[in-house]
Amino acid sequence: MEIWQAIILGFVQGIAEFLPISSSGHLILVRSLMGLEGDYLLFDIMLHVGTLGAVAVYFFKDILELFKPPFKRMGLLVLATIPAALVGLFLGDFVDGIFMSGKYLCFTFLATAVLMFLTEFFAKKEDYNKPLTIKTAIGMGLMQAVGVLPGISRSGSTIFGGVITKTEKNEVASFSFLMSIPMILGSAVVETYHVITDGATVYVLPMIIGVAVAFVSGYFAIKLVMGLVKKANFKWFGVYLDALSFITFFWLFL
């Protein structure tokens, strides 16, 4: 892997992780366009760690609040993490084997587009102002489990899961970002273990540069999404993903 490729992939990861367009799907697509073949799962995970750093910086105060009594928000975060953790534990190899090739990206991109149109519809239907509850955590947690599939946006699906529970939109957005922390940390630990035990190609310098780029671009993507959530403006992401779904369908199947 060349340095310039790592920079592009880091930028794509940072932007696509928090914009509701699926970072995993875009990484697969961009790598394919650049002709990169092989096992890049560890590289992808480390790019996610870069965006995790952006979450830690932007939501530093929110993270500290998790550790203050009565630990309600921490409990909700644990609850919301369980569905995706179970999917990763029991179906991770199945998902990787079928979806990591990118063959079905056109369909998962389309599914995310539908979620974006639905999110805007429900978010603008009325002024949601309910606090974060167990119902919110369950809804967002179940949608995060769906977001394990490449092409399904994790941030987009979790925000949708929160919006349909009529929870206040800023609460939904910040909690969605906090939900990425245990998922990314868990994936990083598992993949690091696999590298140590099984061995894998590690692109050290490109990885470091890619992580740094993902951190910077991810931070600005968070700021952008927080502004979009207030306006409940998601339809343009749906339009973009519709077009991308159409293009990838003809590219892969015709």
Q: What is the pLDDT of residues 70-80, one digit of tens each?
A: 899 999 999 99
Kindly report the number of other CB atoms within 10 A of residue 97's CB atom.
9
Q: Is the pLDDT of residue 189 over 90?
A: no
Give the model confidence (pLDDT) of 105-124 as tens digits. Answer: 999 999 999 999 999 888 88
Distance CA 111, CA 115 (A): 6
- Identify the pLDDT of residue 199: 65
206 CB-near residues (< 8 Å, 6+ apart)? 1, 2, 3, 5, 6, 43
Distance CA 70, CA 214 (A): 34
Mark out the alpha helices in 59-202 (DSSP H runs).
60-65, 72-99, 105-125, 134-146, 154-163, 169-198
- Identify the pLDDT of residue 97: 67
Question: In whole angstroms, how far apart are CA 141 and each of 58, 85, 90, 98, 183?
Answer: 22, 10, 16, 23, 11
SS3 label, residue 40: coil
Distance CA 184, CA 144 (A): 12
User: Is 123 or 66 the better-scoring residue by pLDDT?
Assistant: 66
- Domain count of the chain? 1
- Give the pLDDT band of residue 91 (cuts 50, 70, 90): confident
Q: What range defines the domain where residue 198 resides?
A: 3-253
Give the model confidence (pLDDT) of 128-169 as tens digits. Answer: 678 899 999 999 999 999 998 889 999 999 999 999 998 988
Among 4-8, 32-36, 45-49, top mean pLDDT goes to 4-8
Among 43-47, 49-53, 189-193, 198-202, top mean pLDDT goes to 49-53
Q: Is the pLDDT of residue 186 over 90?
A: no
Over residues 39-66, the mean pLDDT reads 89
Q: What percent of the chain has pLDDT over 90?
A: 54
Distance CA 140, CA 214 (A): 24
Q: Is the pLDDT of residue 190 over 80?
A: no
- Identify the pLDDT of residue 24: 85
pLDDT, mean over the chain? 88
- Identify the pLDDT of residue 254: 64
226 CB-near residues (< 8 Å, 6+ apart)? 170, 173, 174
